[in-house]
């Protein structure tokens, strides 16, 4: 062997040694990358990665081939206002989500549900208008790497004319009669009735079958198939916050009310015999002589419900279209024990001026009059929502003139639901 050949072999061996060391160092670096952690935010509006995806991969498998990328995505973008009826959803790919939070800038959190396999998280409620939210999530990839991820976004602005608020009657904590329907009133008209009705519900103990019925774009009622069972507890939910109501209008502010139902009070007024029979839980308590509307002022026949009570009430004929100067004009102050049955002005009340006619003939302007003693007794046992069934005339009670819900068959009533 020449000196030149020996030198060449030594140089070649040194090169191979250096290449081997370099390869080991590269392999070690790749191994470390597979066990590290990363953080992704959307300060640039992209979620820290192209398309708003946080890439948390970086490992290689035993064959030296890259593993499938793990990522976090969401259905809300930072670049434009998010509609308030959006249900926020976070999706994790090739890993498991954990520690997902959605909080408004003011610190109000929206709860959500994480799938058992950690693949998705979904918010449990919709969003408020003109609000900044911060959405955070973490994910552990299938290779064991982890990342934290943040998305900030803002919701659309809504004018008051684009928001409809609900009110519920009976009021929370109120005790009512068996004929009181649930009434939900909206301050801005609802044109997508089905969308809103899907988020209205009534629960009762004991359970009772019933239906919603829309009387207008601003008022929907719910009544059971039969009168409420005495002693029931009823809870009404109007979970309409950010629910589309049609024409670019959204429901706002969920509402809930729980009320109780008292004894079954039903008053039957025979306007031909001028007698009222007062029943409580099916038992006849008293028969009261009454007078109802004279010719030209006929009292309506139908099932009425006590709408309001007033110990003293001013009754002015101008409210029912009888002006001053008319022979039938009246203006009576402090009429005692007044119980309204219709919006148009039919009351049960004390009428001491007509005691001689009570039980014999009809002389009123449409109200049901009785002695002061009988009116006092009835007033103090009556609740708003008690039922008055007046019959014997050809003039019919209008379903919208008070709580006229019971003047429709249940089949007719149910047909008034937007979901029928």
- Any idea how long the chain is? 420
- Sequence-distant (≥ 6) Cβ neighbours of residue 121 within 8 angstroms: 89, 90, 97, 100, 112, 113, 114, 115, 137
What whole-number distance in Å separates Cα of residue 265 and Cα of residue 404?
17
Distances in Å between the Cα of 378 and the Cα atoms of 213, 244, 338, 375, 383 are: 31, 45, 10, 5, 10
The single residue of 221, 265, 365, 367 carrying the catalytic annotation is 367
6: left (phi over 0), alpha (psi -120 to 50) or beta: alpha
What whole-number distance in Å separates Cα of residue 270 and Cα of residue 283?
18
The single residue of 213, 221, 349, 365 carrying the catalytic annotation is 349
Residue 349 annotated among the catalytic residues of the structure: yes
Nearest in space to 195 (alpha carbons), one of 244, 250, 252: 244
Residue 35 annotated among the catalytic residues of the structure: no
Q: Are 319 and 413 in contact (CB under 8 A)?
A: no
With 0-12 / 13-18 / 19 or more C-beta atoms within 10 angstroms meaning exposed / middle / buried, residue 57 is buried
Q: Are 84 and 58 in contact (CB under 8 A)?
A: no
Q: What is the 3-state secondary structure (H, E, C) of 122-187?
A: EECCCCCCCCEEEEEEEEEECCCCEEEEEEEEEECCCCHHHEEEEEEECCCCCEECCCCCEEEEEC
Q: Which residues are catalytic?
A: 349, 367
């Amino acid at each position: 062997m020449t000196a030149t050949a020996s030198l060449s072999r030594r140089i070649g061996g040194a090169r191979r040694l250096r290449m081997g060391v370099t390869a080991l160092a590269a392999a070690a670096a790749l191994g470390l990358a597979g066990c590290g952690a990363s953080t992704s935010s959307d300060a640039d509006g992209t979620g820290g990665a192209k398309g708003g995806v946080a890439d948390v991969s970086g490992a290689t498998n035993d064959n030296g081939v890259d593993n499938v990328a793990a990522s976090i995505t969401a259905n809300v973008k930072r670049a434009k206002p998010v509609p308030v009826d959006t249900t926020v959803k976070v999706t994790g790919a090739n890993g498991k989500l954990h520690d997902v939070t959605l909080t408004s800038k003011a610190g109000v959190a929206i709860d959500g549900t994480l799938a058992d396999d950690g693949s998705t998280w979904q918010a449990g409620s919709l969003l408020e208008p003109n609000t900044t939210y911060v959405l955070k999530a973490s994910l552990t990839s299938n290779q064991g790497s982890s990342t934290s991820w943040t998305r900030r976004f803002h919701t659309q602005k809504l004018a008051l004319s684009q928001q409809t608020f609900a009110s519920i009657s009976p009021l929370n904590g109120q005790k009512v009669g068996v004929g009181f329907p649930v009434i939900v009133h909206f301050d801005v008209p609802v044109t997508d009735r089905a969308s809103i009705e899907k988020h209205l519900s009534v629960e009762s103990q004991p359970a009772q079958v019933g239906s919603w019925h829309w009387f207008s774009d601003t008022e929907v009622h719910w009544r059971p198939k039969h009168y409420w069972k005495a002693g029931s507890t009823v809870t009404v939910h109007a979970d309409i916050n950010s629910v589309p109501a049609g024409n670019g209008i959204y429901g706002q502010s969920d509402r809930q009310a729980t009320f109780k139902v008292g004894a079954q009070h039903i008053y039957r007024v025979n306007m031909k015999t001028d007698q009222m029979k007062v029943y409580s839980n099916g038992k006849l308590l008293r028969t009261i002589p009454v007078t109802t509307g004279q010719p030209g002022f006929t009292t309506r026949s139908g099932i009425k419900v006590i709408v309001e009570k007033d110990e003293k009430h001013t009754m002015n004929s101008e409210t029912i279209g009888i002006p001053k100067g008319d022979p039938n004009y009246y203006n009576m102050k402090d009429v005692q024990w007044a119980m309204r049955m219709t919006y148009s002005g039919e009351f049960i009340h004390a009428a001491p001026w007509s005691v001689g006619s009570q039980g014999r003939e009809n002389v009123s302007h449409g109200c049901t009059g009785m002695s002061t003693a009988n009116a006092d007794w009835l007033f103090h046992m009556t609740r708003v929502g008690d039922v008055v069934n007046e019959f014997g005339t050809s003039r019919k009670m209008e379903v919208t003139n008070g709580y006229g819900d019971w003047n429709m068959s249940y089949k007719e009533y149910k047909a008034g639901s937007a979901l029928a």
